[in-house]
Amino acid sequence: MLTQRSRNGALSICTCVLFSVRGECLNGGTSVPTLTTRELLFCLCPDGFKGKHCEIDTRVLCYEGRGMYYRGTVSRSESGLPCQEWDLDTRVRYMASDVNKGRHNYCRNLLLKRRPWCYVRKNQELVWEYCDIPRYKPAPTMSEPSPESPSCGVRTKGKMMKIVGGMVSTVEAQPWMAAVFWRSKTKDRVFRCGGSLISPCWLLTAAHCFPDGSQTKPRHFSVVLGKNALNKTDLEMEQNFRVEEIILHEGYDNSEGNFNNDIALVKLKPKGGRCAVESKSVKSVCLPPTNQSLQTGLNCEISGYGKEKHGLWYRSQVLREAEVQVLSDETCRRDDHYGDMITRNMFCAGRPDWSQDACEGDSGGPLVCEVGGRMFLFGIISWGDGCAQENRPGVYTRVSNYNEWIQNKTGLPFVNPGPLFPIK
């Protein structure tokens, strides 16, 4: 029996659950055989376990990964509604470890959803909801940060040409760059926002890119990866996807005009069982450790397809990038900057001469900083007063504040909590 799980010497808060495929008693259970064939009749289970094989750990408090092997007994949804019993066909087809113990209404993760869920009755209809079960977290360790993917944040710099307010970039220099398109009522495909690829199936972007909020319909959106120009298509470099799911942060709020919690997740719809395929023009970006602060004056990069300067009626048709410096929170909150509009979920960046900045149409795109030869997504282009105006730097969503949210919504591997920079 495993009552605690160890990772790098750290003990977790969860118990592990095994299930039997050979008719054995698990977790210290005592076998009770039949008198005639001596085959297993049932198991006498120790405290904390039940089921024909003692495979159900009633003390399980959380799930790991996507919860595919969760075997606890939580039976209420996030909204507090009681779960409905799984029908026999579902148990036979999807619950090999649960079939022998009969009917139940415990939360499970069937059909490869993000985490354990169940059916509930809401307004006389049978609908599914996720369950209120915390996700497994290992205890913090002092190990060095490791990227989510061995190749995250690595790129091949392409040729650039200097132009006013930034540089024309090649997508190989920003291979995590995503273009989010909206399908209009006339069926035209309209560019909506930028985004950043954080795993093969998930993008991070800005919540304000979806003005319909929770009513946003994913089927109206599509994503193109590896795109150099909005008005050109390169079939060898680009990868196109429909959108399966859009998740806006629950705390997103623009009532004060400052786009607080301006972050959203976009899930790509797999094709042939897979999403983005890594190439020179398509790679994921690394995520920073939780609550990691950026050093004032650090040079970082922004990229997007937005307008080349404020006031233009058209946006750039090509991918552009610019270098900006991180400003201190004190500077950004000065009265001649943005004052108390800046929350702990934001930071500012700009150029000392105010010559380069994000602009309209760049929203949702990345602000990346290089650490140890890899690029980390520290910011999401969010808002600002004009473009490249004095004392009006760009404002960015502080991605490192949202690691737990990203993990809970996507089921992606845990982001290491170790610091990237010396803490001063």
Q: What's the domain range around 224? A: 175-268
Asked if 306 and 263 sit in the same domain, the reply is: no
Residues 1, 27: contact at Cβ < 8 Å?
yes
With respect to residue 380, please indicate whether it lies within any of the assigned structural domains. Answer: yes
Number of domains within the chain: 2
* Of 279 and 311, more confident: 279
Which pLDDT value is given to residue 41?
60
Asked if 242 and 334 sit in the same domain, the reply is: no
Residues 380, 346: contact at Cβ < 8 Å?
no
Residues 405, 396: contact at Cβ < 8 Å?
no
Q: Which positions are annotated as active-site residues?
A: 208, 262, 363
Asked if 376 and 326 sit in the same domain, the reply is: yes
* Of 267 and 359, more confident: 267
With respect to residue 362, please indicate whether it lies within any of the assigned structural domains. Answer: yes
With respect to residue 363, please indicate whether it lies within any of the assigned structural domains. Answer: yes
Asked if 258 and 311 sit in the same domain, the reply is: no
Residues 135, 63: contact at Cβ < 8 Å?
yes
* Of 404 and 145, more confident: 404
Burial class (CB in 10 A: 0-12, 13-18, 19+), 37: exposed
Helices (H), 264-371: 329-332
With respect to residue 33, please indicate whether it lies within any of the assigned structural domains. Answer: no
Model-wide pTM > 0.75:
no
Asked if 261 and 341 sit in the same domain, the reply is: no
Asked if 252 and 183 sit in the same domain, the reply is: yes
Asked if 264 and 303 sit in the same domain, the reply is: no
Question: Rounded to whole angstroms, how far apart are CA atoms 138 and 142?
Answer: 12
Span 247-274, average pLDDT: 94
Handedness of CA 34, 38, 40, 45 (dihedral sign): positive
Asked if 303 and 264 sit in the same domain, the reply is: no
Asked if 319 and 381 sit in the same domain, the reply is: yes
SS3 90: helix
Look at residue 61 and tell me whether its pLDDT is greater than 80: no
Which pLDDT value is given to residue 367?
95
With respect to residue 423, please indicate whether it lies within any of the assigned structural domains. Answer: no
Q: From 268, 287, 319, give the residue that closes a domain.
A: 268
Burial class (CB in 10 A: 0-12, 13-18, 19+), 30: exposed
Asked if 309 and 389 sit in the same domain, the reply is: yes
With respect to residue 319, please indicate whether it lies within any of the assigned structural domains. Answer: yes
Q: What is the CATH number of the domain that holds 233?
A: 2.40.10.10
Among 158, 127, 129, CA closest to 320:
158
Confidence bin at 35 (pLDDT 50/70/90): low
With respect to residue 28, please indicate whether it lies within any of the assigned structural domains. Answer: no
With respect to residue 226, please indicate whether it lies within any of the assigned structural domains. Answer: yes
Asked if 264 and 306 sit in the same domain, the reply is: no
Range in 32-41, 180-189, 399-408 the model is least confident about? 32-41
Question: Rounded to whole angstroms, how far apart are CA atoms 28 and 15?
Answer: 14
Asked if 322 and 378 sit in the same domain, the reply is: yes
